[in-house]
Amino acid sequence: MTQTVLWLAQRVTAAILAVCVVVHLATIIYAVQGGLTAAEILGRTRGNTAWLVFYAVFVAAAAIHAPIGLRAVLGEWLKWRGIWREVFLVFFAYTLLWFGLQAVIGVFG
Amino acid sequence: MSQWVAHVHRLSGVALALFLPLHFWALGNALQLDSFLAWTEQPLVKLGEWAIVVALAAHLGGGLRVLALEFLPLLDWQKSLAAVAAALTLAVGLALALSL
């Protein structure tokens, strides 16, 4: 049951992230041309609700996707499989969500 | 080739998982962004940025390959999918290198 839910969550978030990453990569390649300054970035981003929602969804999907991916790596590479692995991964998920949303608010809020 | 793409997919995933908390923390402190951006002008940091963006493209390519293998009936396409993933990574790497 848990394995199935995690597998499904990983695929659903992967599909969402695929779209987000394509947009993010295009934005990066566009934005870095001619260098970056804080004023230039924040002037474009601050108060932009559409991008705020886009990046909030991106962060939420990544906060689910990364811990599930790490779960397999920790199990296969480090043989770490007990309850503390799950505790660590839940903590990691919330850390990503918290700092990610702080970043989204800082840049787009 | 498929084996290689699978390895790169996993390694790039680990790299991105390690990078994300730092990325979010740096962006969350946007008010100090200029001093941070000055720090990122160093050649080694630029190389690191380039590598993490290429890792993102590689993970995207590898992930699309996994989704296609699992959800589309493409049994004979394994090699082509791996090639597409590699090509996507190369294209993003070149585009970013030219833009930096």
Question: Where do the structural domains in chain B lie, given as residue ranges?
Answer: 2-99
Task: Record the pTM.
Answer: 0.92
Q: Which of B20, B30, B67 sits opposite A107 (nearest CB)?
A: B30
Count the domains in chain A.
Answer: 1
Q: Which domain holds residue A93?
A: 2-108
Residue B38 at interface with chain A, using a CB cutoff of 8 Å: no
Percent of chain B at pLDDT exceeding 70: 95
Task: Tell me which residue has tokens 């848990």.
Answer: A2
CATH architecture of residue range(s) B2-99: Up-down Bundle (1.20)
Of the candidates A18, A33, A73, the beta carbon closest to that of B60 is on: A18
SS3 B25: helix
pLDDT category at B38 given cuts 50, 70, 90 is confident
What count of other Cβ atoms lies within 10 Å of the Cβ of residue B49? Answer: 16
For the record, the structure tokens of A94 come out as 């919330």
Residue type, B13: G
B27 inside 8 A of chain A by CB = yes
Residue A10 is part of a domain; what is its CATH number?
A: 1.20.1300
Walk along chain A (109 residues) and give the pLDDT tens digit of each residue. 589 999 999 999 999 999 999 999 999 999 888 777 888 888 889 999 999 999 999 999 999 999 999 999 999 999 999 999 999 999 999 999 999 999 999 999 8
